[in-house]
Structure 1
Amino acid sequence: MTEKHPEMSDMPDVKTDSIVFGMGCFWGAEKRLSEVPGVLDVESGYAGGDDTQAGYYEVLGLEKLIQMGKSNKRNHAEVIKVTFNPALVNLETLMIKFWENHNPTQGDRQGNDVGTNYRSVIYTKSDAQLTLANQTRDTYQTALSKAGLGKITTEIAPLRNYIAAEEYHQDYLKKNPNGYCGLGGTGVAYPSEHSTAKTHPLLNATDLNKTRQLIVFEAEDCPFCAKFKEEVMNTWQSEVPIIATLNPNPPKGWTLEKALFATPTIVLFEDGKEVSRFTGYNGDKERFWKWLGFRLLTPEQRHIAFEQGTEYAFTGSHLDEKRPGTFVDPITGAALFRSDTKFNSGTGWPSFFNPVEGSIVEVVDKSHGMIRTEVRSASSGIHLGHVFDDGPAPTYKRYCINGNVLKFVPDADAQKSTAK
């Protein structure tokens, strides 16, 4: 249950009202509605089913039987009971928030959550509430149809058999933020002066790289989205293009494998189809780059990068590369070594006497019965090789690097002269 608003204790004569909404998983729904000024309390619960007593595992268990065709009972939906002060916020405003903050066209599901217990619902306690629910549904259907979306499947009915959820489900996203924010819905604004949602245009597919493109699906007022942008996107150098959008839908003609349920969600598209996604971000850059690396690198490269593998001597890439240029991280594109620090060590691996400042980190490696100094990329955390104290002046260091986890980028002048 959301922490009660001071009005509920300090002003006992305040008149309150309540309404029950189901928007899929009640965690995100609770967070969204609790942010509305005038809402005094939001409680997660179960409602609309045949059982008068049930808990989380009973609801999940019944749903399993329903999906197996072994029960005809009506299951509860995960819901939130919203208690509000009508003098501060009217019911229509709350219903607009309901429509805009989830996808009411998905039937018995919401995003990744599938089942009758995740259906979209409005459960009312008066004829006036029931009438307004139907009116707002019809109004929003007009906006959805105009945007090319399907028919609303929301169940609208008088409330029955409401049961408060277990304490650990109350204020769940406040207790467990986990690096993501709840998704904002379909991206279609309710046609009313009470709507605060902004209609964000779809990305234009012609502006994107259909072969391979990263799209970051964001939400407004999402601190984790801002964190990802600050720590990753603002210094983006990877060869894979990346773009952010506040619209939860892919470009026209492109397809998501499944609906989004949280932001930020970073989706990798190849040939206009989703091939992988990374959901949530809370400063875990290395985990993000590893996710992307598994899509970009070959099996041999992945073995080196993520399993501290080593290529056989004289078999890797770039051993004889002498052109002016920069050797970069194959995932992030960040500079690692300049070619003017490369020398022939005779070892069979590309060797350098100095890295680009700040580009690597050194870690003690006690594997294979030896004590060595491992070299990793500072940007992605991948394994590159080892450093030894037998190199040339001026550093007398030999950075012995696996060539297969280096990408070479010639200097612009070198590229021009090669093209002539």
Structure 2
Amino acid sequence: MLSKLLTIFILSTSLILTACAKEPAMNSSPTSSDKTDYIVLGMGCFWGAEKRMGEVPGVITVESGYAGGDQKNAGYYDVLGLEKEIRYGKSDLRNHAEVVKVTFDPQKTDLETVLIKFWESHDPTQGDRQGNDIGTNYRSAIYTHSDAQTALAKKTEAIYQKALNKAGFGKITTEIAPLRNYITAEEYHQDYLKKNPNGYCGLGGTGVKYPVSTPDSANAMPEKSPVTKRLEGTDLNNERQLVVFEAEDCAFCKKFKAEILSTWQSEVPIVTTLNPNAPEGWSLEKALFATPTIVLFEQGKEVSRYTGYNGDKERFWKWLGFRLLTPDQRRIAFEQGTEYAFTGSHLDEKRPGTFVDPITGAALFRSDTKFESGSGWPSFFNPVEGAITEHKDTSHGMTRIEVRSASSGIHLGHVFNDGPPPTHKRYCINGNVLKFVPDEQTEQ
């Protein structure tokens, strides 16, 4: 519950739930016909579940709702309120689970295919929770409307349990029961991630693939179930390592790759994985609940994480910068501070090489554009093309041109028109927010 409310707060384009609380939930009696069938599934938060199940070819509609509880008429806040009473021992009622009603065309897909997607798209071993969402209302569940559906649900559960056992997971806790007291969720919950394009993609479950049956036996298991391999901690940088936890078909993961990973030059090593578990031998502070989630590990332990990516590159680099930079560097980089003259780094650096952004590693200035200005700060007459941006600065009663790193957005210094030819510019830069990388031939 806390995770979902936090997610709502983070997404700037999200609907504010308190403003929508007056919308009544709608009672609904799911029905099937000769042309369609349906099943009701609980996978934790129904936003991600709705998106995941809607990806199955042959699925016609996916509707968010509540089911499996004792109340015959309840809405989102009724469910949350009852869960709080249950937690404090004030109610013996069975609460509803957040669910999705998946309606599909049996001519284009079958129930087994739908259930396979269900098993693979969440972690069915977590009991009354899913990731950071904790409570009986986030339980894993399959609610059926016929004996045949119940039998198939239990059959697929048994097959998937064997695959989970091989991958080291525990017992499946999914509730399989006849559907009762189904209620359609409020309108603002329907197609939530479509309405909120900055929303997060749901994680892809345990990373364990459902075993493919063979012609000889519907229950036959392959020698080894296809599993998204867990990263090995011994293969990574134990001192400091970034891991990007992704999901298949996640648009925001692709955006992060295109805008951040494709030009990665930071000194911090980074890897991606589709497995939502920590690298072998390492540990996460808490379960992941959205993708992409970028986790910074130090000595094999999580020290910080960045959840979701909607194109705000400066925000991402600021997050990383707060872990990489010293307090003095952060004051300059993020608070437009200035080091005292003649106290910063690289004032006397004369070796051939490149001065780079200390967070992104992107080139800022070449050493052959550095000159002695006598100002007390490293000075350059020309930056690397496209490396900086200029901004009007009227602070301290002066009008100046501020210089920032184009890659991370951090403050570097100012530019003045009293430099040497050919540009006659003086880029007066705080040395403490520069990192010097000597040319390879000059390294000792």
**TM-score for both structures, normalised by structure 2:** 0.88
1:94 is displaced (CA, Å) by: 1.1
1:204 equivalent among 232, 239, 244: 232
Is residue 405 from structure 1 mapped to residue 433 from structure 2 by the alignment?
A: yes
Task: Give the 5 Å matches for 1:213-224.
Answer: 213-224=241-252
Is residue 47 from structure 1 mapped to residue 67 from structure 2 by the alignment?
A: yes
1:290 equivalent among 304, 318, 327: 318
1:207 is displaced (CA, Å) by: 2.0
1:33 is displaced (CA, Å) by: 0.9
Distance 1:55 1:288 in 2: 36
Distance 1:112 1:49 in 2: 22
1:274 is displaced (CA, Å) by: 1.3
| Alignment RMSD (CA, Å) | 1.8
Q: Which digits, 9 at most, give the CA deviation of each residue in 1:141-194, with x for residues without a partner?
A: 110011001111111111111110000100001111215422111110111249
Distance 2:85 2:393 in 1: 52
Note if contact 2:145-2:179 (Cα within 8 Å) is conserved in structure 1: yes
1:131 equivalent among 151, 170, 174: 151
Identity %: 78
1:285 partner amino acid: K
1:293 is displaced (CA, Å) by: 0.7
Distance 1:371 1:68 in 2: 60
Question: In the alignment, what sits opposite 1:60?
Answer: 80
Distance 1:42 1:106 in 2: 24
- Mean CA deviation greater in 353-362 or 180-189: 180-189
Distance 2:57 2:385 in 1: 50
Distance 1:222 1:80 in 2: 20
2:56 equivalent among 12, 33, 36: 36
2:161 equivalent among 141, 144, 147: 141
Distance 1:69 1:270 in 2: 40
SS in 2 for 1:216: strand
1:374 is displaced (CA, Å) by: 0.3
Question: In the alignment, what sits opposite 2:407?
Answer: 379
Distance 1:71 1:372 in 2: 65
Note if contact 2:240-2:299 (Cα within 8 Å) is conserved in structure 1: yes
Q: Which digits, 9 at most, give the CA deviation of each residue in 1:305-354, with x for residues without a partner?
A: 11111112222111122222111100000111111211222222111111
Aligned residues between the structures: 404
1:402 partner amino acid: N
- Mean CA deviation greater in 395-404 or 185-194: 185-194
2:125 partner amino acid: T
1:395 is displaced (CA, Å) by: 1.3
Q: Note closer, same or farther for the CA distance 1:28–1:304 as it changes in structure 2 (3 Å cut).
A: same
2:300 equivalent among 272, 278, 287: 272
- Mean CA deviation greater in 123-132 or 75-84: 123-132
Alignment gaps of 5+ in structure 2: 1-31, 215-220
2:194 equivalent among 171, 174, 178: 174
Note if contact 1:212-1:270 (Cα within 8 Å) is conserved in structure 2: yes
2:265 partner amino acid: Q
Question: In the alignment, what sits opposite 2:5?
Answer: none
Distance 1:88 1:391 in 2: 71
1:198 is displaced (CA, Å) by: 5.7
1:252 partner amino acid: E
**TM-score for both structures, normalised by structure 1:** 0.92
Question: In the alignment, what sits opposite 1:6?
Answer: none
Question: In the alignment, what sits opposite 2:137?
Answer: 117
SS in 1 for 2:148: helix
Is residue 188 from structure 1 mapped to residue 208 from structure 2 by the alignment?
A: yes
Note if contact 1:181-1:264 (Cα within 8 Å) is conserved in structure 2: yes
Q: Which digits, 9 at most, give the CA deviation of each residue in 1:258-306, with x for residues without a partner?
A: 2222222111111111111112223221111111111111111111111
2:351 partner amino acid: R
Distance 2:433 2:35 in 1: 66
2:333 equivalent among 295, 305, 312: 305
Question: In the alignment, what sits opposite 1:87?
Answer: 107
Distance 1:371 1:307 in 2: 18
1:208 is displaced (CA, Å) by: 1.0
1:63 is displaced (CA, Å) by: 1.5
Note if contact 1:266-1:279 (Cα within 8 Å) is conserved in structure 2: yes
Q: Stretches of 4+ moved more than 4 A in 1?
A: none
Distance 1:368 1:65 in 2: 56
Distance 2:245 2:206 in 1: 12
Question: In the alignment, what sits opposite 1:246?
Answer: 274
Alignment gaps of 5+ in structure 1: 1-11
Question: In the alignment, what sits opposite 1:233?
Answer: 261
Note if contact 1:14-1:85 (Cα within 8 Å) is conserved in structure 2: no
2:45 partner amino acid: C
